[in-house]
Amino acid sequence: MKTISTRRRTSGALLGASALALTAFFSAPAHAAQDATCGVLAPGASATAQAAVDAACSQIGVWYSWGGGHAATPGASYGFYDGSDPDSLHDGERKGFDCSGLMRYAYYRATGKDLLNGTADDQFHSSQASARFSAGQGTAPLLPGDLMFWGSGHIHHVAMYLGGGQMVEAYESGTHIRVTSVRTGGDYAGAIRINGSGTPVPPPANGGTVFETWGTGVRTHRTPSVGSAVVDTFPGPTQVSVQCQQHAETVTAEGYTNDAWAKLADGSWVTNIYIKGPAWLPGIPDCGGSSTPPPSGGSKAFQTWGTGVRTHSEPNVNAGVVDYFAQPTTVNVVCQKHAQEVTAEGYTNDAWSKLTDGSWMTNIYIKGPAWLDGVATC
């Protein structure tokens, strides 16, 4: 059994002689000179949008890497296997961006603010959108810097419009960031224009903890039940002030099932499905209408870090994904074991933690030493 007493920081180079032999193939190329076809190709974009285009174009030739670009600070980072695509098997050795990671980085460089932290689906529902365009409108109303999206029900891809029928994108594993002709067929879902000032919408001034909703036509109710009277309807993503939450009616919507409801500052209720974050919101007290069972199996609570962290059905990144933590959250660890060695965020560790729902996550994303203190071996 191999024990790693502390996380060890790597220099970004692959470890071992066999890995060194592959460096020429898997290493991300140095940022190439900006492609002659990549840039602002039409007038009318804001200064912020033009700066975002320049930032995205500066990454032409860098690897697509699934999960890349979603480190604590926007920028190229090592990705990981997506669990299904053979071309993604080596994303853990490729420093680069996935599609949403590139957009996040571009607008971070343009504004100095992390406006687009999250998946392509999160970005499609972003509260930073100052304008939205349907798929049926095509590219006629678009300006350079607008974000184009694909997906039916759930958004799975995003690219940046350049003008002149061209876009820049991180397309898929095994490819490099590229300029290509726009695609408005298939499951093209429409586009958004990012707030040119880069100034976040102010939060509500009525107490509570601020969260962002997603989706369109989201209703709040008089009681935590979809059958109760409608109090308000949110036509698009907005900010809400959550006072407390409780377990109540189970709701299935948008491919998710959850029995948690959040009580807002105006006394109305909304299912947690439409609030960005884990199913049970971190740091929000129970309203007193439910009795959440304590952590089972002698588990111990820990804080995670990072964005887009996934848990798996087995202690292996190739195993099925069980849950997805868009932001840091609290997890209850039952036990830990040495299993598949993982390299991510500049750390290498073979320790995995089993959570109370039976899923597993690498200890790299749990705050603390590589082998967690006070947690039993599975």
Known catalytic residues are 99, 157, 169
Residue 161 pairs in a beta bridge with 167
Strand order across the 63-64 sheet: 63-64, 95-97, 77-78
> Any idea which residue has 């407390």 for tokens?
244
Residue type, 270: V
Q: Tell me, what DSSP letter sits at residue 200?
A: P
Secondary structure (DSSP) of 313-332:
SSSSTTSPEEEEESS--EEE
Q: State the Cα angle at 52 between 173 and 200, rounded to 5°.
A: 110
Of 28, 58, 67, 81, nearest to 160 by C-alpha is 58
Contacts of 29 (CB under 8 A, 6+ apart): 61, 62, 63, 176
Residues 363/351, Cβ–Cβ less than 8 Å: yes
Q: Tell me, what DSSP letter sits at residue 272?
A: G
Residue 337 pairs in a beta bridge with 352
C-alpha dihedral over 306, 308, 314, 318, to 10 degrees?
-120
Residue 244 pairs in a beta bridge with 263
